[in-house]
Amino acid sequence: MKWVLAFHIISVVAWFAGLFYLPRLFVYHVDAKDAISNQRFKVMEHKLYYYITFPAALLTTLTGAWLLYEIPSLLAFGWFRWKLVCVVLLWGFHLHCGKYVRNFAQDKNRYSGRFFRFFNEVPTLLLIAIVILVIVQP
């Protein structure tokens, strides 16, 4: 069980790392005006999303489900149910990032760097909520 928890925490860290960095890449991508930079950001965004962030999200979800299977009584706690709501919102953010990766890949981005600067704060807010819910258990 401790091994599952360890891999759950490792994958959460990797998932959040990707979700912190990807919108920052979007900010830089919007500002890139030359073709070489544009192509470089497309490659970076694709690799970060599909090779790091998405697998980390899947591993987080699988290990989290495994832990919940082992300790189903967690569902009785309000803090845990709110944590699951935050995880669902995080998945929504994650999938929305995938939409932006595809839009940039097709040169169809319609958002500004300012938009992505604000967008970049969403995972931080979710991380704060999740950590407080899990540690403080209000």
The DSSP string of 24-50 is HHHHHHHH--SHHHHHHHHHHHHHIII
Q: Residue ranges per domain, the chain?
A: 2-136
The one-letter code for the residue type at 101 is: V
pLDDT of residue 55: 98
> Which whole number is the average pLDDT over 86-110?
98
For residue range 9-21, list pLDDT tens digits in order: 999 999 999 999 9
pTM: 0.94
With a CB cutoff of 8 Å and minimum separation 6, the contacts of 110 are 103
